[in-house]
Structure 1
Amino acid sequence: MSSRIGNYIERLLNAAALKRWSKRANKVASIGLGELRSVRGQARDLRVQLDKFIFEAEGRLALPFVGSNAMQLPLYTDWSYRPEIWRGPITPLGASSVLTKARIGNEGTLFHDCRESELTYRQVRNISDMDLAPFGLRLDVFRFDGSFLSLAIDLPNDVCDGLSKRHVLRLDCAVDLETPIEIFARLNVKHGPNLEQVVREVPLTTDDVFAEFDLAYTKLNEKRVEKVWIDFIFEDPEMNQIVLRDLTLSRRPRAEL
């Protein structure tokens, strides 16, 4: 009974607030400047909270669900991960004139050597029935006077646990391009003072877009693995829109040589 009364009172308060702001909107031209500044401040504070609520609500109500970890994984996978950018909302959602080493969420970093940045990024909501990831990342590149553009994704520490030369790391992604370009993925494994790097081209002309990194051919010191990250390297990205709709990584033991 008390909850119904509470809901009724809340509906009345919401209706009163809507009526009050509707009245203010209709009379904004006749409000004195002093009062207008005060009311504008109230409206801005209210808009921040409303925008936050709407974003979170749409994220929860839309498909795929925010936080979804649904993945298509190879057999014998012993570790898998979808980075934060593709799993849940990040702050800020986007930026323009992005400088080099700009952080994207807690795990991504954008690198370039442009003298004048005409790069933007924005986290977008995936809505296709084919998408497994709740979010995607859109990069808009206009004039590009640099020699490289890359996106680094830090992987969590648990990927290092038990990582050995018997492992194959696999990167799966879904990419939309406005204009075809070449994209490379570079696996970086820091072990002690050394760094192992393996580069693979991401094949964008096939249905399954993935790259695999076989650690058997590296000089990995299995006892000193400290950090693992992935670099996406975009060749000639000028005047292009790149949408990374999904990105997942997995690890599995390879067959003995």
Structure 2
Amino acid sequence: MRQGKTSVMQYLYQKAFGRYWARAARAAEVTQLSTLKGQRLRARKLRQHLNTLISVSESRLALPLIGSNSFPKPHGTDWSWRPALWRQPLAKFGLASAQNKEMLGDEVTLFHDCHVSELTLRQLRNTREADLAPFGLRMDVFRFDGSFLSLVIDFPFESVDGLKRNHLIRMNTIVELEKPLEIFARLNIKHGPNTEQIVRELPLTEDEIMVEFDLAYSKLNEKRVEKMWIDLIFEGPEMNQVVLRDVTFSRRPRAEF
């Protein structure tokens, strides 16, 4: 019998078992003490198992569902995506003394020019009630002797399939900082031999951290689009911890007036 399935016999047994303890509770005031002593011992053992089940189930059911791609999307969205690092457990969930161009998963790459790396990356399980993403990314930066630090997120092919200059690309994120710093998002779109770039600073002081990239102001050649990726650039990251609780992207055509 597969785990999680309840047979008819099991159901009837559990129902009778529940009735037994209901009767015992109602009759506890008049039950003989010798019988009551035995019931109390069995009830305590049963309560220990029930408390464990309740505690574990409440914890697990409160966590965002692994694999979830659910998040709010603007009206008219024709493509949306949460990268795998924030969606599912990685085989390799952390990097210590992370080197330049080292990857965490198949979509996220770290770039820096430190002579001695004192950077760590680690995937963590989100547990807060407000979290929609199953996982987050924590980056710890200790001594930093480089001139740049960025995380590159490679988009899937679907992101550029049918991409037009009338599209808006939206990025939403949840960021926790140990101390203030600046984070910039640079959207890159390769079309033929050229790469279009649009830079936005993340509004870290706002409740909703969201930026949009309007392709109408670009010189995008719609017929030669090959791929798209984004750089998250961290300014002054030394002695800081950055947690990206969620990172999501969506695409929609701009409204016609």
Query: How high is the TM-score relative to the length of structure 1?
Result: 0.76
Determine if the alignment matches structure 1 residue 211 to structure 2 residue 196: no
Q: Retained in 2: the 8 A contact 1:186–1:198?
A: yes
Q: Retained in 2: the 8 A contact 1:166–1:256?
A: no
The aligned residue for residue 113 of structure 2 is: 113
Letter of the 2:199 partner, please give it: V
The 3 A distance-change label for structure 1 pair 62 and 92 is: farther
Shift of 1:60: 7.2
Alignment gaps of 5+ in structure 1: 5-58
Shift of 1:69: 1.1
The aligned residue for residue 225 of structure 1 is: 225
2-structure distance, mates of 1:211, 1:186:
10
Alignment gaps of 5+ in structure 2: 4-58
1-structure distance, mates of 2:94, 2:62:
20
Shift of 1:61: 6.0
Determine if the alignment matches structure 1 residue 249 to structure 2 residue 227: no
The 3 A distance-change label for structure 1 pair 114 and 3 is: closer
1:143 is paired with a residue whose SS is coil
Residues 135-188 of structure 1 deviation map (CA, whole Å, 9 limit, x = unaligned): 000000000000110000000001111100000000000000000100000000
Determine if the alignment matches structure 1 residue 163 to structure 2 residue 163: yes
1-structure distance, mates of 2:113, 2:213:
27
2-structure distance, mates of 1:148, 1:125:
28
Q: Retained in 1: the 8 A contact 2:86–2:135?
A: yes
1:199 is paired with a residue whose SS is strand
Letter of the 2:178 partner, please give it: E
2:85 is paired with a residue whose SS is helix
1-structure distance, mates of 2:205, 2:75:
24
Q: Retained in 1: the 8 A contact 2:62–2:129?
A: no
1:216 is paired with a residue whose SS is helix
Shift of 1:256: 3.3
Shift of 1:3: 7.3
Paired residues for 1:46-125 under 5 Å: 63-125=63-125
Letter of the 1:212 partner, please give it: E
Letter of the 2:210 partner, please give it: F
Letter of the 2:93 partner, please give it: L
2-structure distance, mates of 1:3, 1:183:
49
1-structure distance, mates of 2:61, 2:92:
21
Letter of the 1:202 partner, please give it: L
Q: How many residue pairs end up in the alignment? A: 203
Letter of the 1:90 partner, please give it: L
Shift of 1:255: 2.1
Q: Retained in 2: the 8 A contact 1:190–1:226?
A: yes
Residues 218-256 of structure 1 deviation map (CA, whole Å, 9 limit, x = unaligned): 000001110000110000000000000000000010123
Query: How high is the TM-score relative to the length of structure 2?
Result: 0.76
2-structure distance, mates of 1:158, 1:118:
35
2:95 is paired with a residue whose SS is strand
Shift of 1:70: 1.1
Letter of the 1:256 partner, please give it: E
2-structure distance, mates of 1:137, 1:3:
35
Shift of 1:213: 0.2
Determine if the alignment matches structure 1 residue 190 to structure 2 residue 190: yes
1:73 is paired with a residue whose SS is coil
2:86 is paired with a residue whose SS is helix
2-structure distance, mates of 1:100, 1:134:
27
Q: Retained in 1: the 8 A contact 2:196–2:220?
A: yes
2-structure distance, mates of 1:61, 1:179:
32
1:211 is paired with a residue whose SS is strand
Q: Retained in 1: the 8 A contact 2:95–2:104?
A: no
- Higher Rg of the two aligned structures: 2
Q: Retained in 2: the 8 A contact 1:64–1:134?
A: yes
Residues 190-218 of structure 1 deviation map (CA, whole Å, 9 limit, x = unaligned): 00111000000000011110110000010
